[in-house]
Each structure stands twice: as structure tokens, then as C-alpha cells.
Structure 1
Amino acid sequence: MATKEHVRTAVRGLGGRRARSHDTSDQRLWRSTPAEVARRLRPGLSLVAEQVIDEITLRIPEYSRPADTLYVKAVRLAVDEALRQFVDRIENPSMPLEADVFRTIGRGEANEGRNLDPLQTALRLGARVAWRGLTEQAEPLGITPQQLYDLGEAIFVYLDQIADAAAEGYDEARAQVAGEMERRRHRLLNLLLSRPAASPDAVADLAKAAGWRLPRTVAGVALDEQCGGYRPPSLPPDVLAGLDRPNPCLIVPDPNGPGQAQTLEAGLRGWKAAIGPAVPLEAAATSLRWAREALELGRRGVLGDGRNLIRCSEHMATLVVFKDEELVEALAEVRLAPLAHLRPSQQDRLAETLLAWLRHGRGAGEVAARLHVHPQTVRYRLRQLEELYGDQLSDPDVRFELEIVLRARQATTGFGAA
């Protein structure tokens, strides 16, 4: 006959570990108990269920909700199902676990916003109560100590199977929620980039549904789709990503906030990208358009100086100049016509000197310092320019137009860094 000491020894041996038996070994555990025991246990299952529920609601605050009748029913259904299948398995050891109800429990835990710790605690408590009930009835049921030990181990194998099924349901629910949130974030990104701009109310509603805090400003980031072989960007969760769009992009909230520049730089390591200027939320599409223009200029070598991340805020004048290149080229033909008859090397030297003169002042010494040449050389070049342009260099409008076309020429040909 089983004694309480036998039971305590068995519990110490089984508690705190998860069985890893193969199916055949599991069935051996169940077969060691006579099927008659199942028939004798069934009339008392209701009482055991009450004891299990009392223990769970007393010791686990998450499940102590007596006023919630639907929740109480759900707990009772879970306990009743667990006990029923346990007894059925004693009677028919080859019967597989009917896992759907336990997957549903796992999904419920995820929907409640909890992790699986309370459920695992509840399973252990339930197993302990069921084990205690078995030990108390072992003698009248005619269960030997070895059968009781095997049955106790079977409880923990069964507990493992229930926990695995609940974990599957939990993971499914979390993945479903994550997938739905990701879809909402994609819709939000599309809404922010729509033209004409979406209404503030529509943006606010979708942002709330997507769990995205509305920022004061945003910046669009254009990513080079040719960098698809690189690892995905590693960015904070508040960055909206459109990596699967024909032209991959990001929307970065509050791009000028503390640490944002460094975070973005680190997250985009390995990618070629351009970040547009910070703009109000309704102008997100405009910021992204500028970023795409900057990225294209970066591909051509006009912007970036070889850096992988181009910041539009550092190149606004160049972006303006290259907004209509045909117009700039037409202007250049007019304003650089006095240089057209010179050799290319002469054109470059005089263009470089003229741009430095326009940008940094009209003193030969300052221009010479910028160009790293002798002041006498600068004076000679400036006399040449005066002969070529005459009174035009005294006209502020002409000087402005000359600076535009010379900046564009410098960006595309790299004739010098004045």
C-alpha cells in the first residue's frame, strides 16, 4: 500500500522538472495504472475541480476575479477539461492530448496582456492538488506505491503537454497581434505619405490603433534599394518602416530629438540613405521627396562626400540649385559664356577663383588663403576675370546667378573646394 512518505518522496523527485519522455515511455507510465482506477476517479472529479479552482484563485491574484462570471466559467472549463482528459488517458493510454482548449487558454493569456508565468503557476498548483487527491485515495483505490509514482510522473508529463499547447496558443496570439500592429503601422506610413495629405483626425485615429505616439515633427528617410543584401536597419520601434515598398523608406519621429541623430546613424550602418529635413507631420511626404532627391544626387556623387547617410539639412542650397538642372544649365551657358573660349584647365582655375571670390570676400589675401595659392596668383586671375566680365561683376544679380551656376559646376565636376 502507498504511504504518505512514499508520496512525499515521489513529489520531491517529480517537482520542479519537466519530463522529456518519448511517446512509448509516456504510454508506459499511463499503462502502469489499471483502467479501473479511471472509472473510480470520475465521480470525484467535480470535487477535485473545486479544490483546484479554490487553490488557484486563492494563490494567484491574476485569476482571482469572482465578479467576472465569464472568466470564472472559463477557468472552470479549463480545469474540468484538464481533469477529464487526465482520467481518460488513464483509461486509454494511447489517447492523444486534445490540445485546442489549452491553446485557447494560451491565446487568452496573450489577449489579457500577461506572460505565461501565472498560467504555469496555476498548472503547478492544479497538479499538486490533483496529486494530493490521488495520494489520499490511493489505498482505497488499490494503487501500489510504484503505480502511484508512475502516475505522479505521468501527471508532470501531462502538465508539460498542456503547457506546450498553451504556449503554442500564446505565441500564435502574440504573432497575430504583432502582425496586425505591423499592418496598421504600414497603413499609417502610407497615410502619412499620401497626397493630398490625409486629415489630422484620420492620422490620429490610425496612429492610436497602431500604438504610435504622434510626434511634433517627422523626417522622411530614403533608402537605396540596391542595398537589399545588407541586414535590415536596426531602429527604434517608433520608426515607421516601409522596406517592402518599391522605393524603401522610413518615417522618423522627432528627428532632432536628443540622441536621434546617433541612433539613426548606428541603425542604418551598412545602408546608403538620405534623411529629409524635419517637418510637421502633414508634410512627411515632402520631407521624403527631398530625401529621395538627395539620395539620387548622392548616387551621382554630387552630395555626401562618400558618406552613407546624407542629411538634407546640410545641403539645402545644393538641393535648390539642382531642383531644375536644365534651367541651371541654361543659366550657366549665359553666365559662363565669357570663359567658354578658354582651355578646360583655365576654365577650372578661373571658375574656382571666381567662386571663392563670390563666397568669401573680395580681398586677394582671403581668397588666396581659401585656395591655398599665392595672393599674387589670385590677383592675376582676378584681373583676367575683370577683363572677361567687365562691369557684370558689379551687378549683384549677376553675381548671385554666377554663384548658383558655379556651385552647380563645382558639385558635378569637382573643380575645387573653394
Structure 2
Amino acid sequence: MTNPLPDVKAFRLSPEVVAPLRERLPHVATQTIDAIMTEVPAYAEAFAGDLGAKIERAVRTALGAFLGLVSRPHGPDPQSPLGPALQAAYALGRGEARNGRSLDALLGAYRVGARVSWHELAAISVATGQPAAIIAHFAELVFAYIDELSAASVAGHADELASSGRARIRHLEQLTQALLAGETEHTIIAAAQRADWSPPQTLTAVLVPEHAARTVVDLLDRRTLSLSEAGPDFSVLLVPDADGSRAAMLGLLRGQTAVVGPARPWLRVKASYDRAVRTMEIPGLPTGNVVNTEDHLAALVLTADPQALADLRAKVLEPLSGDSSAEKLTETLRSWLRHQGRREEVAAELFVHPQTVRYRMTRLRELYGDRLQDPEWISALFIALSVPAA
């Protein structure tokens, strides 16, 4: 079992030990930087570019902070050099995350830096006649210090990823809201840029129950936009470029409860969303499965103005208003129109005898008179009775 590294904040070295190390600090920093450039390729270009001077200064500062830390007097010291060093390491970790890099290169640089700086500092200590016990103890301090810096950078990297992730989620939600609200093209494009989201050719609105949104979105294109609580008890997903593979998307959704709108140019996806919402409102719509709005275009047209449809139904059914069998007569008239007067087919659909159909149609002709021969009235009746009353 290995012994844990010491708490670097709790140890001190005498000025006699530290003085020669501080004198040779520029040389140690140069050797450390050269080794990092050689052994961590990801940093070679950074050192050669505009960041080179900043990184070199950071290395010198880290080494200087370490020597200042281990040589300060005993007793309370609120101005400990470790604080600024940890802040710098934390900022370095955040910077790596902002630049889209993992921590592999940075932690590799820490390991190389620890090894090389220890080698150089140990050589200086040996040359100045320091005893082996002091040199061994000094090694522990170096690696404990690097562990502190590494942990600070890991924390900075994680915090930046979490922060940027939350910010991007907010930007994606704002983009979705702008699309569904039908904002101006300029506003929507600006929102897409803030969200770092590459626009597709088309978007398709898919409405799903709130509780199922997370499950469904995992089945779809990773660029899919989503908005919870877009309406009463449902969430909306905006699926990119599903027009060319609509059948495949519907297949992926099989077994889910969803209403799938048409594909529309991405800036005009509000039209897809509006159609999906209107499809949900169609009376008698099946529930518990995938509803393709393209299968309900006639019903959508007929219900485009619900009040107008209700007024039309009231007008064309007015002759039946005083009859005690109005409901059965209406049902028979609807079937008669659908089957173009074929009595046997009407009887089969209604599960009645053909003579019953004949009797009811006689009664309907009495109530409507010549209007059942008028093409305009026939059209009005067909439209009014094509969608059952809500």
C-alpha cells in the first residue's frame, strides 16, 4: 500500500534549501517547457503561436508559486501563493473546455512538467549538498503540488462543460420557441447562430406526450430540437430532414404516441406544428399510436373553420329537426351519400334490412323534397356529414 502524498500547504523548506532553487528557476522553467513541447504534441503548436508567451509565463508562475509556498514562514498566512496558482489552474481547465479539448493533453503536460521540474530541482539540490532525506521529501512536495493543480484544472474543465452545456440548452430552447412563434427570418437565424445549431433543409414537427419526450427524442436525429410543455400535456420535437425518409421516421416511432406533421422548410416549420396541433383536435382521432397528418388532410380541410362547419351542418339538417327519428335518419343519409345510393351497401354498413333503408330514404325525401336532387345541396350535405359532430 502506497503512502498518500503530503499536504503541500502544511510543509516548509528552509531558505537555505530554496535559495539555489529560486536562482535557477528560469533554467528549470525552460527545460520544463521544452519537454512539454516535445512529449505533448497538442501543445507544440500552442507554444509556437500567440499563446506561447502566456503558457511560458504560466509555467514560470506555477514553479515560482511552488517555491514561495514551501519556503514561507510558519504560522497563519492568508496570502498563501497556492490560492492564485489554483485559480490559474482552474482557469486553464475552463479554457481547454471552451476550446473544445479534453483534459488529456493538459494532464499529460502536468505529468511531464512534474517529472522534468523535479529532475532539474533535484539536480540543483544535489549540487548544493542537500541531504538525501531533504531531496526525497522535496519530491513528495513537488508531486503533491502537481496533484493540487491537476485537481483544480479538472474542476475548471467540468464546470465549464456544465456551464456551456446549460447555456446551449437555453439557446436551443430559445431557437425552438422562435421557430414555433413564427419569428422573422433574421431573428431565427440569429438564434440558430447563438445555439451553434446548423440549419437543415427541412424540419418536421412531432407532438408527443410530455412523459415520453425524452424516450422519443433518443430515437431521432441528434440535431432534433425539443420544447417541453409546448401545449397542454404535450411536448414538440422538430426533426431535421425527415421528408426524404418519412416512412423510416414513422417506423422508428412505431409503438409511441405521436402526431407527425408535414416536412416544411426549416424557417417555416410553424406550419408543420400548426397542422399537427389541428390534427390532434380532429373528433374521433385514434389515440395511443402514431398519427400521420398526411392521412387526415380531408378532415383537416373540413374542420378548418369549425364554426362554419357547425353552421353548415345545422342548415342542411334543419329539415330533420322536428322528426323523432332524426338521429337514425341522419346516419342513413350519411351512409347513402357515401355509397352513392346503393341500398344493399347502406344496409350492410348500418346492420339493418334493405327495406329499413328504403323506408328511411322515403321519409328523407318527404322531408327534403327536391333538394335531394340538387347537386349543390348534395355537396353541402356530403361536406356537413363527412366529419361526425364533436
With the shorter chain as reference, the TM-score category is 0.7 to 0.9
What does 1:244-283 correspond to in 2, within 5 Å?
A: 249-258=236-245, 259-262=248-251, 274-283=259-268
Single out whichever of 98-107 and 302-311 deviates more from structure 2: 302-311
8 Å CA contact 2:18–2:67 kept in 1: the answer is yes
8 Å CA contact 2:37–2:47 kept in 1: the answer is no
Show the counterpart of 2:144: 157
8 Å CA contact 2:93–2:157 kept in 1: the answer is yes
Q: Aligned partners of 1:378 and 1:145: how far apart in 2?
A: 113
Alignment of 1:118 onto 2:108: no
Unaligned ranges ≥5, structure 1: 1-11, 413-418
- CA drift of 1:87 comes to 1.7
8 Å CA contact 1:30–1:150 kept in 2: the answer is no
Alignment of 1:333 onto 2:320: no
8 Å CA contact 1:220–1:275 kept in 2: the answer is yes
Give deviations 1:315-345, integer Å, cap 9, x for gaps: 33333333322222221122112322333xx
**Counterpart AA for 1:198:** T
Of 106, 109, 123 in structure 2, the residue corresponding to residue 136 of structure 1 is 123
Q: Aligned partners of 1:303 and 1:143: how far apart in 2?
A: 91
Single out whichever of 51-60 and 135-144 deviates more from structure 2: 135-144
What does 1:86-125 correspond to in 2, within 5 Å?
A: 86-92=66-72, 95=80, 96-98=82-84, 99-125=86-112
Question: Relative to structure 1, is the Cα distance of residues 397 and 90 closer, same or farther in structure 2, using a 3 angstrom cutoff?
Answer: same
8 Å CA contact 1:29–1:150 kept in 2: the answer is no
**Counterpart AA for 1:389:** Y
- CA drift of 1:202 comes to 5.8
Q: Aligned partners of 1:411 and 1:334: how far apart in 2?
A: 14
Show the counterpart of 2:304: 323
What does 1:17-416 correspond to in 2, within 5 Å?
A: 25-27=6-8, 30-31=11-12, 33-34=13-14, 36-65=16-45, 68-92=48-72, 95=80, 96-98=82-84, 99-195=86-182, 198-199=184-185, 203-204=188-189, 206-221=191-206, 227=210, 230=211, 233-234=214-215, 235=217, 236-243=221-228, 249-258=236-245, 259-262=248-251, 274-295=259-280, 297=281, 302-307=283-288, 310-343=291-324, 346-408=325-387, 410-412=388-390
CA-based RMSD of the aligned residues comes to 3.5
Show the counterpart of 1:3: none
Tell me the percent identity: 31
**Counterpart AA for 1:131:** W
> Secondary structure at the residue paired with 1:261?
helix
Unaligned ranges ≥5, structure 2: none
**Counterpart AA for 2:38:** L
- CA drift of 1:274 comes to 4.4
Give deviations 1:202-247, integer Å, cap 9, x for gaps: 64455345333333332345577xx5xx476352542233437687
> Secondary structure at the residue paired with 2:303?
helix
Alignment length, in residue pairs? 375
Give deviations 1:278-321, integer Å, cap 9, x for gaps: 223343233333333334x26xxx25323376543333333333
TM-score under structure 1 length normalisation:
0.75
Give deviations 1:26-52, integer Å, cap 9, x for gaps: 158734x54542233111221111111
